Amino acid sequence: AGRAPALHCPADGVSQVTVRDALNQGLDEELERDERVFLLGEEVAQYDGAYKISRGLWKKYGDKRVIDTPISEMGFTGIAVGAAMAGLRPVCEFMTFNFSMQAIDQVINSAAKTCYMSAGSIAVPIVFRGPNGASAGVAAQHSQCFAAWYGHCPGLKVVSPWSSEDAKGLLKASIRDDNPVVMLENELLYGVPFEMSEQAQSKDFVVPIGKAKIERQGSHVTLVSHSRPVGHCLEAAAVLAKEGVECEVINLRTIRPMDIETVEASVVKTNHLVTVEGGWPQFGVGAEICARIMEGSAFNYLDAPAVRVTGADVPMPYAKILEDNCIPQVKDIIFAVKKTLNI
């Protein structure tokens, strides 16, 4: 279900690259470009990363640039935040963002607020990255989406890639940014191949933070999503197109700052809005999008209430059949589109 849409024969200079390899490429290029950049986290060095994102980097850059840490998120996140304040540019990997709860004081109270509280005199250029949201069969303590949690907090930037191009471009942009950035990846996308252009594979390629991407043009309904559910939206759009319904699919890419202008422009065109996310419904990313649309001029163009498709409002069950029913599926998106279009 996390697959990329069906791909045709690659054009000249276009390659199939997995999200894992795109992230590895981005890290490699930034470590090489700027000696202030370093990576730390559990098993990122000698083991090549729990998900092999940092494969080969320890051998290439050594102990001072790729650092294995103890299983102590509060400790190594604090070290990373202090290093950023001192002028380095750390990339702090959480084996899963569920474990970032151990370090949330460092992320929110130290990293996010220091620039503001120092009147701009202390920058904290740090990237917190790792897998976010539901994986498969790992139950409630390993399956939360933290987009709404971190997107709630001023002082942070929050990015959420879907494709290989998103992953590489947003990672490089995040490392170069002078603000703390939370990068929410998805474990189930790591092995998924996407087409990457020659330009996207160049060392100069970045995806600007705060800019959404229209993945598919459409005229009947706007689908807004981020991370893995973008793929579900594209699959749903392909099914609906056979029934004469053209969906415009927007890949948010960034949760904070949110590119609401792109969403508004699409809603003005389609007059219908469906948001799709893997997180819980209450105070979620979809809730924020709906509120922003209602508060702005695009609200006058809506011909039906906006509809949210979200994860179920329960801790994630372990059983596969229950897990499947807790995560938005393609059929749920199709149902929501038909509901809002009254068909």
Which residue in 304, 270, 268, 274 sits closest to 289, CA to CA? 274
pLDDT for position 13: 78
Q: Which residues are catalytic?
A: 73, 142
Backbone phi, then psi, for 57, in 5-degree steps? -75, -35
Residue 151 CB neighbour total at 10 angstroms:
24
Q: Print burial letters for 203-229: b (CB count within 10 Å at least 16), e (below 16).
A: eebbbebeebbebbebebbbbbbbbbb
pLDDT at 18: 97
CB 216, CB 234: distance < 8 Å: yes
Q: What is the pLDDT of residue 5?
A: 46
pLDDT score for 6? 43
Identify residue 341 by its one-letter amino acid code.
Answer: L
Structure tokens at 280: 């819980």
Tell me the domains of the chain and their CATH numbers.
17-201 (3.40.50.970), 213-341 (3.40.50.920)
Q: Flag residues of the chain having pLDDT under 70.
A: 1-12
pLDDT in tens, 78-118: 999 999 999 999 999 999 999 999 999 999 999 999 999 99
Query: Phi/psi class of residue 25: alpha, beta or left (left: φ > 0; alpha: ψ in -120 to 50)?
Result: alpha
- According to DSSP, the β-strands at 66-68 and 37-41 are parallel
Sign of torsion over alpha carbons 283, 289, 293, 296:
positive
Contacts of 197 (CB under 8 A, 6+ apart): 13, 14, 165
pLDDT (tens digit per residue) in 213-226: 999 999 999 999 99
Closest C-alpha to 100, from 29, 180, 168: 180
Q: pTM of this prediction?
A: 0.94
Q: What backbone phi and psi angles, to 5 degrees, belong to 214?
A: -85, 110
Cβ contacts of 119 within 8 Å, gap of 6 or more:
none
Residues 170-186: b if buried by 16+ CB within 10 A, e if exposed = bbbbbbbbebbbbbbbb
Q: How far apart are CA 58 and CA 45, in angstroms?
A: 5
Contact assessment for residue 255 and residue 284, using Cβ atoms and an 8 Å cutoff: no
CA distance 258 to 296: 14
Residue with tokens 């917190």: 128
Which residues are CB-contacts of 76 (< 8 A; sequence separation ≥ 6)? 40, 41, 69, 70, 92
What is the Cα–Cα distance from 310 to 118, expressed in whole angstroms? 38
